[in-house]
Amino acid sequence: MTVHQDSPMTSASDQSAFPGTAKTYAPYADALQAAAQRDSLFLSTPGHGGTTTGISAGQAEFFGEHTLSLDIPPLFDGIDLGVDTPKDEALQLAAEAWGARRTWFLTNGSSQGNRMAALAIGTLGTGVVTQRSAHSSFIDGIVLAGLNPGFVSPNVDEVNGIAHGVTPDSLRHAIAAHPEKVSAVYLVTPSYFGAVADVRALAEVAHEAGAALIIDAAWGAHFGFHPDLPESPVTLGADIVIMSTHKLAGSFTQSALLHLGDTEFANRLEPALARAFMMTASTSENAHLMASIDIARRDLVNSRVAITDSLENIRQIRARIEGSEHYHLLSGDFMNHADVVDIDPFRLPIDITSTGLDGHAVRKRLTEEFDIFAEMATATTIVALIGIGKSPDLSRLFDALDQMRLEHENDRPADAMTASAGLPALPSPGKLVALPRGAYFADSELVPAAEAVGRTSVSSLAAYPPGIPNVLPGEEITAETVEFLQAVAASPSGHVRGGVDPKLSTFRVLKD
């Protein structure tokens, strides 16, 4: 991404509020670069020593000598050893850029942030209300922290297999229905499809109940960096916000952020998050990932022209889709749902039913025959993702869709695809009959899928994409869930995280 040093930040929060955001350098990345340029003799880890000799020749040939030289170990003088280091400054600049009280760089992705958040809120109490479409990594955190979850269901588009967000009223009812005092709430916004919930109103509901609000904004790291984008949830009252900078903001895969909001819970949560970070982070964090986050922050702040150009390109793409007689952009209808107050323009959920093919089959053919990689699919939809600051020509995608549509337009009626879609409808969750941590550590046994119906799962099972758990530890396994998960496992691009075997022919359940 081109850095425009004379371009001011255009976030929802003005530049005067966060004076550090105007800086055009990346202190951690710059210090790493300076260290790599020294003629150092490494008699320490990593074993390649930053050189191309001996067994490291293969690494250098594949990754390049410069990549090896940047692989600096932790606790390095001039980078992160001591006080007021370049790493400390990079973290402070990130907090200022997103409007946080404190920010942590995560090298194990938003999954690390979700587990951190669960462990931290365990210091407030065990009662938590979580969106039922939460990512599986937060369910892992519930198990680790021994939390007692209640659930709030998102609004679901059953036809297109899309889970949106929750309304303030539905959250209020879920908090009231929990059998114990709710100390924290965990919600997801934006959704996997780009729907944005009303974080400000949801924060008010949570705080009225004395609960901290965690927002999984894995898909919203770019929010707040342009007036035509939604505001960042960090500035809307959320107490903890998790963001994957690698998803749209341009950093390397597996890099992410956790932000602590400047709220009434900050004093209690900050030391808890610091301890949780120590428990979940590697003691040998990858320097490339941290430098990538630092650079992504710099470029988000300073690339107003590139972001503006990217948004204009997105408008043209969206207009082309909406102007087509064959395709439809589902996000154009999102604002009709009570839980949605905005959309992320960089996610393009395209209705592809006119092709006569299931969305999963379309995604597979795009990959195998056209070398085009869509983010995800449902029975009726593929989701194309555009990185912020990027302006790709999507003619190649539309040509591929047209080719598939023309091949199949005479094969079956236009409405037959939905009726014959490869996956059954999303199942309703089974009853929670045991706390997740208790079920996870209980005696268990493997049983055939048919015998698992009515039994209690000890595993978290999540269909990928998008990684939303369909079964939690402690939940009753239903026939509908077994059918759905087996169908996902058998689909062209499907995978079930947590399954005992790839086909889900067996399930691990509580021993009778």
pLDDT at 410: 63
Helices 199-208, 168-177: axis angle to 10 degrees equals 20
- Going by pLDDT thresholds of 50, 70 and 90, the confidence category of residue 477 is very high
Spatial separation of the C-alpha atoms in residues 317 and 12, rounded to whole Å: 25
Residue 71, CA distances (Å) to 65, 83, 131, 282, 407 in order: 10, 22, 39, 15, 50
> Which CATH superfamily is 436-510 part of?
Orn/Lys/Arg decarboxylase, C-terminal domain (3.90.100.10)
**pLDDT digit string, tens, across residues 239-285:** 999 999 999 999 999 999 999 999 999 999 999 999 999 999 999 99
Beta strands per DSSP E along 10-153: 102-106, 127-131, 148-152
pLDDT at 508: 96
pLDDT at 149: 96
The helix (H) or strand (E) run that includes residue 376 is: strand 376-377
**pLDDT digit string, tens, across residues 369-426:** 999 999 988 889 999 999 999 999 999 999 999 999 999 876 654 444 443 345 677 7
The helix (H) or strand (E) run that includes residue 215 is: strand 212-216
Q: Which has the closest alpha carbon to 300: 191, 206, 228, 226?
A: 226
Q: Thinking of the domain 304-417, which architecture would CATH place it in?
A: Alpha-Beta Complex (3.90)
pLDDT score of 341 more than 60: yes
User: In this structure, what DSSP letter does residue 237 have?
Assistant: T
pLDDT score of 368 more than 70: yes
pLDDT at 475: 95
pLDDT at 414: 45
**pLDDT digit string, tens, across residues 144-184:** 999 999 999 888 887 777 888 999 999 999 999 999 999 99
Per the confidence metrics, is the pTM higher than 0.85? yes
User: In this structure, what DSSP letter does residue 267 have?
Assistant: H
CA count, 13 A, side-chain hemisphere, 249: 31
Rounded-to-10 torsion of CA 174, 180, 183, 186? -40
What average pLDDT score do residues 20-26 get?
A: 68
- Going by pLDDT thresholds of 50, 70 and 90, the confidence category of residue 14 is very low
3-class secondary-structure state, position 176: helix
CATH code for the part of the protein at 108-281: 3.40.640.10
Fold identical between 108-281 and 436-510? no
Q: Which has the closest alpha carbon to 118: 463, 437, 496, 499?
A: 437
pLDDT at 422: 58
The two structure tokens encoding residue 46: 């990593």
User: What percentage of the chain has pLDDT greater than the value 70?
Assistant: 92
pLDDT at 412: 53
Specify whether the CB–CB gap between 503 and 489 falls below 8 A. yes
3-class secondary-structure state, position 379: coil
Give me the residues paired with residue 148 across strands. 127
**pLDDT digit string, tens, across residues 279-308:** 999 999 999 999 999 999 999 999 889 999
pLDDT score of 462 more than 90: no
pLDDT at 115: 98
- Residue entry with tokens 């269901």: 153
pLDDT at 19: 34
- Going by pLDDT thresholds of 50, 70 and 90, the confidence category of residue 13 is very low
Spatial separation of the C-alpha atoms in residues 263 and 237, rounded to whole Å: 7
Rounded-to-10 torsion of CA 71, 76, 77, 78? 50
3-class secondary-structure state, position 496: strand
The Cβ of residue 440 has, within 10 Å, a number of other Cβ atoms equal to 22
Phi, psi of 10 (to 5 degrees): -125, 60
Mean pLDDT of the chain: 90
Cα 431 to the center of its chain, rounded Å: 26
**pLDDT digit string, tens, across residues 479-508:** 999 999 998 888 766 788 888 998 899 999
Spatial separation of the C-alpha atoms in residues 171 and 152, rounded to whole Å: 6
Count of positions (residues) in the chain: 512
Helices (H) and strands (E) in the chain, counts: 18, 20
Burial of 31 (0-12, 13-18, 19+ CB in 10 A): buried
pLDDT at 10: 35
What average pLDDT score do residues 32-48 get?
A: 89
**pLDDT digit string, tens, across residues 102-114:** 999 999 999 999 9
- Residue entry with tokens 């009303």: 198
Q: Which residue has the higher pLDDT, 12 or 94?
A: 94
The two structure tokens encoding residue 444: 């268990």
pLDDT at 4: 31
Q: What is the largest CA-CA distance in the chain?
A: 70
pLDDT score of 100 more than 70: yes
Q: Map out the domains of the chain as residue ranges.
A: 108-281, 304-417, 436-510
**pLDDT digit string, tens, across residues 45-77:** 898 988 888 999 999 999 999 999 999 989 998
- Residue entry with tokens 């309304």: 167
Rounded-to-10 torsion of CA 356, 360, 362, 365? -140
The Cβ of residue 305 has, within 10 Å, a number of other Cβ atoms equal to 14
pLDDT at 493: 66
Specify whether the CB–CB gap between 447 and 154 falls below 8 A. no
Specify whether the CB–CB gap between 257 and 221 falls below 8 A. yes
pLDDT at 372: 97
